[in-house]
Amino acid sequence: MRRFRFSHLGLVAALAVTASASAAAAAAVPASAATTTYTITDLGSLGGGVTGATAINASGEVTGHSTLTQSGGVFHAFLWSNGKMTDLGTLGGPDSNGRAINDSGEVVGSAEDSGEISHGALWTGNKATARAVGGTVANGINDSGQIVNGITEVTVGPVGARTALPIPPGFIICEAAGINNNGQVLGNCEVNDVVNDWQGTVWTNGTPTVLPTLGGSLATSTTALPLAKAINNNGEVVGTAVTSTGALDGFSFSNGKITDLGPNFSPAAINDNGVIVGGPFIDSNGTLQNLNNLIPAGSGYQIQSATGINDNGQIVANAIDTATGQQHALLLTPN
């Protein structure tokens, strides 16, 4: 079966591919006259110069992965807090990756053991604990410490006490994407392994609700895989879906209604104020803007992929250092 998981080595490349696909559209989106602008903080690296950020919490702490040496190849999960990047280590193997962070600073993701088998992992402080069986990954954690794991199924909780969530009728497999503070779990479920057609699904109190589509399916499209990517504490979901014409558009889903956000926007995160980020874009109240127009001119960075936003409006994004060509992780703080 085909899966839509990313390897720790593939994440930086995947972000760059996503960004390049929308680069032309990004340049075409002007900033409005009265708009929020941002200061930039470069999060640095663990020694290798390349960093990919994936998530941010309410206090501006960030996680992701970073190279240890200039030659690259080995990535470790990190926690960036108060101007300092901490190496979170592994489960005894070479690589790890932070995927989500809660307001207590607990990080989940994946880490390899001494046999180079990847496990879902939880970091409390800088200590890694395996939270799921080999080959899986922890994709989300809420402020109550509930963790969602899942490569072949969506489960909530630690090894030995995990609860498997039901697969909706007509689907063959589901994979977790995140969990909010109300315990609602977001995932994607596959209809048919032949066409690899996935639909976003939300579990509320263990009951799945399959999200509506934008009128199409992967069978009618040759574009990238459509996925629900993020859920906020109000139950609003964002992601990408195929339209009736076979295009891949961004969407938001709230109160039973799906809204088409257009073909040039691939949402990655949404805060509780309904502000959405993804690629080089931010969408606030239906106004789509290019973040590159909202940072200081001549900064030396070209934002490619915004991956998280908190309720204070702080954004974590991955950008190219135009002088070196390396990917850096940036914290964007509203002025």
Closest C-alpha to 184, from 215, 205, 166, 214: 205
C-alpha–C-alpha distance, residues 123 and 65, integer Å: 13
Phi-psi category of residue 139: left, alpha or beta, with phi > 0 → left and psi -120 to 50 → alpha: alpha
Q: What is the pLDDT of residue 9?
A: 32
Q: Can you give the residue ranges of every domain in the chain? A: 10-334
In angstroms, what CA-CA distances link 105 with 111, 125, 145, 243?
A: 17, 8, 10, 38
Token pair of 240 as six digits: 């990408």
Q: What is the pLDDT of residue 25?
A: 42
Token pair of 39 as six digits: 């200061």
- Chain-wide mean pLDDT for the chain? 85
Is pLDDT at 153 greater than 80 in this prediction? Answer: no
In angstroms, what CA-CA distances link 129 with 61, 92, 106, 160, 161?
A: 20, 11, 11, 14, 15
pLDDT digits (tens, 9 = 90+) for 269-281: 999 999 999 999 9
Contact assessment for residue 32 and residue 47, using Cβ atoms and an 8 Å cutoff? no
pLDDT digits (tens, 9 = 90+) for 42-73: 999 999 999 999 999 999 999 999 999 988 78
Superfamily of domain 10-334: Peptidase/esterase 'gauge' domain (2.130.10.150)
C-alpha–C-alpha distance, residues 6 and 14, integer Å: 8
Contact assessment for residue 175 and residue 154, using Cβ atoms and an 8 Å cutoff? yes
Q: What is the pLDDT of residue 6?
A: 33
Query: What integer is the mean pLDDT of 29-34?
Result: 45
Is pLDDT at 319 greater than 70 in this prediction? Answer: yes
Confidence of residue 160 (pLDDT cuts 50, 70, 90): low
- Give the other-Cβ count within 10 Å of 122's Cβ: 20
